Amino acid sequence: MSQDQTPQTPQQAFGAMLDHVMGTAFTAAGYALQPNPMHHMRGLYRYARALPGDVTALVEFQALHYASGPSRFRINLVRQAGPDARPRDERTLAALLWDDFATPVLDGPDHWWTFTVNSPYSLANALAEAGRLLFAFGVPWLEGRLQADGS
């Protein structure tokens, strides 16, 4: 078997589909995937962008693979500040929508997007749905361009 025919792990397949569905949008928004193979092996993919004031905006995708049922992922939004890179603000995208924006478009503040590992169509659809919400609410919130009413 040649190198380009090497089977992908579920975590690698997730990362490849994430890049396929959202990679261009992240690049256009100034975010870059952090090259951390150890994180990627565990299904953690983190996109980062430097903001003014020594702040870094992070969009984290955490994928959990289950062989016996649907797999799932969620999106964490993190603002880190200063040389020690401590989180200043941290929320899941679902909690941001439910708690901060009172926009219950998901099934709750602890929502995980589900997909079938052996169905690229299922994963692509879940990522596309999440991406629409991420770029409409999550990224503008991370960058300080969108605030919840009263905040």
pLDDT of residue 150: 47
Beta-bridge mates of residue 81: 55, 86
pLDDT of residue 87: 64
Domain ranges of the chain: 8-142
Tokens of 136: 């409409």
pTM comes to 0.90
The ranges of the chain with pLDDT < 50 are: 1-2, 150-151
pLDDT of residue 149: 72
Phi and psi at residue 110, to the nearest 5° = -110, 35
Tokens of 129: 């749905």
pLDDT of residue 7: 62
41-63 pLDDT, tens per residue?
999 999 999 999 889 999 999 99
